[in-house]
């Protein structure tokens, strides 16, 4: 017998069995149909199986495979007909060997890193407050990392020991205008890049990896993540800053919180503050914030007499550690799969 | 900055509750770090930001308290009596490096009696030094007094034993290369150019602004002394202090912008106290060389700016009170503005914005409301964010955990695998983590290292991905930062390829995905390939070979893949479109084809496609490959696959399906020299 002929017979058998099973109206009729098609001795499936011997040996693998599929399809049709009849006439056939307490067939799902989960949540909250996400390079020049952010040449923040400068900076030091490249020490660089290209109003958050030469210990790592917000418009005040931070903290914590400002000092904001939120009967540090310094607005070509704005920045690791009870920042970058599986 | 409660009461009455004072100081800029009892005094630890060196002395802190509580304040007004000859008659000071030391002053007191400093002074010094250094002890009246004045006004001083200064002179110069210097701490420091030293005729006697020398310090047999009060460059002080890893209360203050008027005040104050507690005769006058050339400029504060920036209104009277209490002097004022000149100790007050901050912090940030109606604005989720989120969902659904690894890696790693660039990686000057100073050009080595760490933790299943940037050096300028998806698995090439195909299907990536065998470092010669999307380099995939496993100390098989995320974003379909589905049944046909081993599946697939109208082919499913050399000959294989056919307009008949099948067979025959079995 040619392979195709055999395969056609199998196909025909399936449709025949399906229609017979489906038309059976009670257990007896179904059992009769079962014997007809699936009977161990003289069932029709058995008969067709015998024909397989007549198929050419080179076609045997295909024939065998298709036969097995056919058998499965007919058995499935029987099962569903059986289920239909049991459900319909209240047949109380029992399976006393069934153990509902055995584990189900579980799926192995991967986990999203807790830092990413935190970032996504923060982005989501800020998105609802009208802040869109902006991205920028991690390797920066000193204009974007310092100069435009009102950090002058003699500022300690520019010290080589406070930054990861690239060795290429030395190579081109012979040139007229050597460009110092470094791994960005803050995501404010993205704000500069956005402002250079966009006219106000601006409402963005920038986030990502930042780098500072800290010795790795339980609370420090030389690479971490920051989220920074920036809002620039004609009438942005410090009250807007406080209100946005309160909404942000309230959304994140899921309960109404209050915000406190303590004076601080950052070159790119004036006034500068540390923002705290009140939670579980204590003040908890949220992050640094302030009104964008007029020098920064000027550096990107804005007129400080026309527009004002605020900026704030938070450390993602710190928020994430507090939220999930993580006590060692290095866990984030070790990637023990048992650690990852906890989130 | 530790301040002594008792000390502060010399200048301002502290009738308030201690905790309330600490809180108000914290809320106005001097963050309270803690308070400790030291005998019958309190040491209050206040954090002073780098713009406020005026608060690095008790007087500055007392001034803040007086402003906050609207209290009167009284400071000493030193006026020591000079009964000796002019100080510069026998002693000269020269500054060779005005950029490192703009101004240097010296006063000379002869015939002092070295002894203990008064008890009250020892007690107050003990309060501020003992908590920092548990073995702190008073030294002698002269040294204690210079430390006292430092902690009183923030201007560092140094006392030399005049007899030990050779050649009756002081020269402020740059250190010579390799010059050695033994400081008061009895360590020998090797100096280098760029560092500023105070020298006598023959040798350095102090590292400017940081520490004096062991052999010129004031000791029990000292009779005549020279009191130094000077201005040193903050940048040079900082870099010298860093380079020598030598930090002192003096260097801490010189690193900041000190009050230029403090130089003379501090010198006078010290002389007055020395004459009182150590006797001796003060030489007439001050040896004064150089000048600081800085004086405060008037600043206009427009009242309209208060509401514009702070969002609250503050009365003119309150604004004036705050500005004047802080030591600013009023030049003029009208309805809309006040012009003031800042005091010399507030070099940070140069602009209107700086005054705004002063007004805000003293008036109180708690008065700024936190419930104003910020206007609503639409925000946009970028395509990038949408794709990245979908990608993470897909990766976790197929069982991969997300990892985050460091961007900077050991340079040796970048040699093991760098398929995107053959340029040397960028390096950081100082390593980020031990031995890691190369900006990675692939995520793969980092992921293999994570496999090794998990292996050491006996974790059996390590299926990981990371989305991060890699840094590809360019001829010049900033490197190209390429967002990349890296994957590592303990499973086979095909498993990993399936993951990538699942990503493409989940993101509905348009375009032609092709794969070609390539030999790559680290990967098995055969089980590796490079990937293209619409002809562009899209990624790499493969099983790590035995040598690669050894390089990363891995004991079990590992596979890796890396793809460009920008191409995913460009080619994904974020808003899928519905197309009408056929309501007619599909019909399938299996084909079992014998072809040469060299014929790849993609060639067979292309051949099938060429044989029919694309709109009736719903699917081609590869089933399996097997070999029967006895029947088919060597170098031949049998490939079994299924085509699923469906028409939009009517049910496809068996006859039609058979015709399609014949067309496929003949196409394969003519194009690939394959033949149908059966």
**A111·B371 Cβ contact <8 A:** no
Whether A205 maps to a domain, the answer reads: yes
Q: Alpha-carbon distance B197 to B199, whole Å?
A: 6
Radius of gyration, CA atoms only, chain B: 40
B482 and B604 part of one domain: no
B215 and B233 part of one domain: yes
Reported pTM:
0.86
Which residues of A fall within a CB distance of 8 Å from B427? Answer: 166-168
Interchain CB contacts (distance < 8 Å): A and B: 268
DSSP state of B296: P
What tokens were used for B20? 């309330």
B528 and B658 part of one domain: no
A4, A113, A120, A256: which to substitute to probe chain B, counting the most B Cβ within 10 Å?
Answer: A113
**B27·A262 Cβ contact <8 A:** yes
What is the three-class DSSP state of B394? helix
Range of the domain at B250: 82-290
B59-98: per-residue pLDDT in tens? 999 999 999 999 999 999 999 999 999 999 989 999 999 9
**B678·A111 Cβ contact <8 A:** no
Neighbours of A318 (CB within 10 A): 18
Kindly tell me if the per-residue pLDDT of A179 is higher than 80. Answer: no
**Mean pLDDT for chain B overall:** 95
Kindly tell me if the per-residue pLDDT of B564 is higher than 60. Answer: yes
B321: CATH: 3.30.56.10
What is the reported pLDDT for A90?
A: 52
Q: Once rounded to an integer, what is the mean pLDDT over residues B15-35?
A: 95
Shortest Cα distance from A151 to chain B (angstroms)?
Answer: 13
B453-504: per-residue pLDDT in tens? 999 999 999 999 999 999 999 887 788 999 999 999 999 999 999 999 999 9
Shortest Cα distance from B609 to chain A (angstroms)?
Answer: 22
Residues B267/B261, Cβ–Cβ less than 8 Å:
no
What is the dihedral angle through the alpha carbons of A22, A23, A27, A30, rounded to the nearest 10 degrees? -70
Shortest Cα distance from A89 to chain B (angstroms)?
Answer: 32
Pairing of strands B196-199, B169-174: antiparallel
Which residues of B fall within a CB distance of 8 Å from A131? Answer: 379
B497 and B361 part of one domain: no
DSSP state of B549: H
Length of chain B: 678
Shortest Cα distance from B85 to chain A (angstroms)?
Answer: 41
A83-109: per-residue pLDDT in tens? 888 765 555 678 888 888 899 999 999
Residues above pLDDT 90, as percent of chain B: 95
**Domain count of chain B?**
5
A23-61: per-residue pLDDT in tens? 888 888 888 888 888 888 788 888 888 888 788 777 887
Query: Shortest CA distance to B649 belongs to which of B620, B613, B608, B619?
Result: B613
A158 and A288 part of one domain: yes
Q: Alpha-carbon distance A287 to B633, whole Å?
A: 74
Which residues of B fall within a CB distance of 8 Å from A107? Answer: 399
Which residues of A fall within a CB distance of 8 Å from B437? Answer: 167
Residue of A nearest to B305 (CA): A305
B63 and B88 part of one domain: no
Whether B259 maps to a domain, the answer reads: yes
What is the reported pLDDT for A92?
A: 62
B277-298: per-residue pLDDT in tens? 999 999 999 999 999 888 999 9
Q: Once rounded to an integer, what is the mean pLDDT over residues B320-346?
A: 95
Facing B310 at nearest CB: one of A128, A170, A237: A237
Q: Alpha-carbon distance A170 to A156, whole Å?
A: 20
Residues B342/B349, Cβ–Cβ less than 8 Å:
yes
Q: Alpha-carbon distance B605 to B55, whole Å?
A: 79
Peptide bond before A201: cis, by omega within 30 degrees of 0? Answer: yes
Residues above pLDDT 70, as percent of chain A: 95
Shortest Cα distance from B353 to chain A (angstroms)?
Answer: 6
What tokens were used for A28? 């007896």
Whether B581 maps to a domain, the answer reads: no
Neighbours of B406 (CB within 10 A): 19
Residues B361/B28, Cβ–Cβ less than 8 Å:
yes
**A137·B453 Cβ contact <8 A:** no
Range of the domain at A166: 114-340
Shortest Cα distance from B526 to chain A (angstroms)?
Answer: 28
Return phi, psi of residue B596, to 5°: -65, 150
What is the reported pLDDT for A88?
A: 56
Residues B337/B300, Cβ–Cβ less than 8 Å:
yes
Q: How confident is the model at residue B663 (pLDDT cuts 50, 70, 90)?
A: very high
What is the reported pLDDT for A44?
A: 86
Q: Where are the alpha helices (DSSP H) in B103-245?
A: 119-129, 141-153, 234-244
What is the reported pLDDT for B106?
A: 97
B635-650: per-residue pLDDT in tens? 999 999 999 999 999 9
A63 and A120 part of one domain: no
Kindly tell me if the per-residue pLDDT of A178 is higher than 80. Answer: no
What tokens were used for A306? 């026309």
**Domain count of chain A?**
2
What is the dihedral angle through the alpha carbons of B592, B596, B598, B599, rounded to the nearest 10 degrees? -40
**A159·B242 Cβ contact <8 A:** yes
What is the reported pLDDT for B678?
A: 65
Return phi, psi of residue B301, to 5°: -110, 110
Q: Alpha-carbon distance A256 to B314, whole Å?
A: 28
Edge-first strand listing for the sheet containing B617-626: B617-626, B636-645, B587-596, B675-676
Facing B309 at nearest CB: one of A62, A165, A238: A238
A300: CATH: 3.30.930.10
**CB neighbours of B59 closer than 8 A, spacing ≥ 6?**
B11, B75, B152, B153, B154
- Tell me the β-bridge partners of B536: B533
- Tell me the β-bridge partners of A70: none
Diameter over CA atoms, chain A: 97
A325 and A181 part of one domain: yes
H or E, element range at A296: helix A294-299
Query: Shortest CA distance to B351 belongs to which of B302, B412, B300?
Result: B300
Whether A199 maps to a domain, the answer reads: yes
Kindly tell me if the per-residue pLDDT of B514 is higher than 80. Answer: yes
What is the reported pLDDT for A47?
A: 84
Whether B203 maps to a domain, the answer reads: yes
Whether A106 maps to a domain, the answer reads: no
B176 and B320 part of one domain: no
Q: How confident is the model at residue A169 (pLDDT cuts 50, 70, 90)?
A: very low
Q: Tokens 């290369």, residue?
A: B177
**A164·B50 Cβ contact <8 A:** no
**Mean pLDDT for chain A overall:** 89
Whether B371 maps to a domain, the answer reads: no
First-residue to last-residue Cα distance in chain A: 59
Kindly tell me if the per-residue pLDDT of A249 is higher than 60. Answer: yes
Q: Alpha-carbon distance B151 to B177, whole Å?
A: 34
Q: How confident is the model at residue A4 (pLDDT cuts 50, 70, 90)?
A: confident
Kindly tell me if the per-residue pLDDT of B135 is higher than 90. Answer: yes
């Amino acid at each position: 017998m040619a392979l195709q002929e055999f395969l056609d017979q199998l196909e025909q058998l399936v449709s025949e069995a399906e229609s017979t099973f489906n038309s059976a109206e009670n257990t007896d009729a179904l059992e009769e149909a079962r014997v007809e098609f699936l009977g161990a001795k003289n069932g029709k499936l058995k008969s067709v199986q015998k024909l397989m011997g007549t198929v050419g040996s080179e076609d045997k693998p295909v024939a065998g495979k298709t036969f097995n599929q056919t058998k499965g399809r007919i058995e499935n049709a029987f099962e569903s007909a059986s289920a239909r009849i049991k459900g319909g006439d209240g047949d109380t056939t029992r399976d006393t060997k069934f153990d509902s307490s055995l584990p189900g067939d579980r799926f192995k799902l991967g986990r999203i890193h807790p830092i990413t989960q935190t970032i996504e949540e923060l982005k989501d909250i800020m998105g609802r407050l009208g802040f869109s996400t902006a991205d920028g390079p991690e390797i920066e020049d000193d204009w974007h990392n310092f100069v435009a952010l009102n950090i002058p040449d003699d500022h300690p923040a520019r010290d080589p020991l406070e930054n990861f400068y690239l060795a290429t900076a030395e190579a081109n030091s012979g040139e007229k205008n050597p460009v110092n490249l470094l791994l960005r020490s803050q995501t404010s660089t993205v704000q500069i890049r956005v402002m250079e290209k966009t006219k106000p109003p601006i409402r963005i958050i920038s986030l990502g990896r930042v780098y500072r030469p800290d010795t790795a210990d339980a609370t420090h790592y030389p690479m971490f993540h920051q989220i920074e917000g920036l809002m620039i418009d004609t009438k942005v005040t410090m009250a807007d800053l406080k209100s946005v931070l309160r909404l942000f903290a309230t959304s994140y914590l899921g309960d109404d919180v209050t915000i406190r400002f303590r004076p601080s000092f950052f070159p790119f904001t004036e006034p500068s503050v540390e923002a705290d939120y009140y939670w579980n009967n204590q003040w908890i540090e949220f992050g640094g914030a302030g009104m964008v310094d007029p020098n920064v607005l000027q550096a990107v070509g804005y007129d400080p007499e026309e527009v004002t704005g605020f900026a704030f920045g938070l450390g993602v690791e710190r928020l994430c550690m507090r939220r999930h009870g993580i006590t060692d920042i290095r866990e984030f970058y070790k990637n023990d799969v048992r650690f990852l599986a906890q989130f | 900055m530790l301040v002594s409660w008792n000390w502060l009461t010399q200048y301002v009455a502290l009738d308030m509750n201690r905790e309330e004072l600490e809180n108000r100081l914290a809320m106005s800029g001097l963050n309270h770090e803690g308070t400790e009892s030291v005998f019958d005094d309190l040491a209050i630890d206040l954090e002073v930001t780098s713009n406020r060196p005026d608060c690095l002395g008790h007087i500055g802190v007392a001034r803040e308290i007086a402003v906050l509580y609207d209290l009167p304040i009284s400071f000493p007004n030193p006026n020591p009596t000079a009964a000796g000859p002019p100080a510069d008659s026998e002693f000269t000071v020269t500054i060779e490096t005005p950029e490192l030391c703009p101004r240097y002053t010296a006063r000379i007191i002869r015939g002092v009696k070295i002894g203990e400093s008064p008890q009250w002074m020892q007690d107050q010094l003990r309060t501020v030094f003992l908590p920092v250094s548990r073995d702190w002890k008073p030294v002698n009246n002269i040294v204690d007094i210079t430390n006292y004045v430092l902690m009183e006004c923030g201007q560092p001083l140094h006392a030399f034993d005049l007899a030990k200064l050779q050649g009756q002179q002081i020269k402020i110069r740059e250190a010579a290369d390799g010059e050695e210097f033994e400081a008061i701490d009895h360590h020998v420091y090797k100096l280098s150019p760029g560092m500023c030293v105070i020298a006598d005729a023959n040798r350095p006697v102090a590292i400017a602004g940081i520490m004096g020398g062991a052999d010129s310090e004031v000791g029990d047999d000292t009779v005549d002394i020279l009191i130094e009060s000077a201005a040193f460059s903050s940048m040079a002080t900082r870099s010298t202090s860093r380079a020598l890893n030598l930090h002192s209360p003096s260097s801490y203050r010189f690193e900041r912008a000190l009050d230029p008027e403090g130089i003379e005040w501090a010198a006078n104050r010290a002389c007055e106290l020395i004459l009182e507690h150590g006797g001796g005769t003060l030489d007439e006058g001050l040896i004064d060389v150089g000048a600081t050339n800085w004086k405060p400029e008037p600043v206009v504060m427009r009242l309209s700016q208060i509401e514009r920036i702070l969002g609250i209104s503050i009365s003119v009277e309150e604004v004036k009170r705050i500005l004047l209490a802080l030591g600013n002097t009023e030049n003029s004022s009208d309805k809309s503005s006040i012009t003031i000149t800042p005091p010399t100790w507030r070099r940070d007050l140069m602009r209107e914005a700086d005054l705004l901050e002063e007004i805000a912090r003293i008036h109180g940030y708690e008065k700024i409301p936190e419930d104003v109606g910020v206007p609503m604005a639409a925000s946009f989720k970028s395509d990038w964010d949408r794709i990245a989120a979908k990608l993470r969902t897909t990766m976790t659904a197929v069982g991969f955990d997300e990892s985050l690894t460091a961007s900077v890696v050991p340079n040796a790693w970048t040699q093991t695998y760098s398929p995107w660039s053959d340029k040397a990686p960028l390096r950081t000057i100082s390593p980020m983590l031990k031995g890691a100073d190369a900006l990675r050009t692939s995520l793969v080595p980092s992921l293999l290292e994570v496999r090794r760490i998990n292996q050491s933790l006996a974790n059996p299943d390590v299926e990981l991905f990371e989305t991060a940037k890699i840094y590809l050096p360019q001829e010049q300028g900033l490197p190209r930062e390429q967002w990349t998806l890296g994957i590592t698995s303990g499973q086979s090439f095909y498993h990993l390829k399936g993951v990538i195909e699942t990503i493409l299907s989940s993101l509905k990536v348009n375009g032609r995905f092709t794969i070609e065998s390539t030999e790559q470092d680290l990967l098995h010669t055969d089980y590796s390939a490079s990937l293209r999307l619409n002809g562009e380099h899209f990624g790499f995939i493969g099983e790590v070979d035995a040598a690669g496993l050894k390089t990363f100390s891995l004991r079990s098989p590992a596979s890796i893949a890396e793809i460009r995320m920008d191409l995913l974003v460009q080619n994904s379909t974020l808003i899928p479109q519905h197309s009408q589905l056929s309501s007619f049944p599909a019909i399938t046909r299996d084909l079992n084809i014998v072809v040469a081993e060299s014929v790849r599946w993609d060639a067979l697939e292309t051949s099938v496609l060429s044989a029919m109208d694309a709109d009736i082919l719903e699917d081609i499913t590869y089933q399996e490959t097997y070999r029967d050399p006895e029947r088919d000959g060597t170098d031949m294989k049998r490939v079994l696959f299924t085509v699923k056919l469906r028409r939009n307009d009517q049910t496809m008949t068996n006859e039609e399906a058979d015709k399609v099948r014949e067309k496929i067979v003949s196409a394969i025959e003519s194009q690939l020299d394959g033949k149908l079995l059966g």
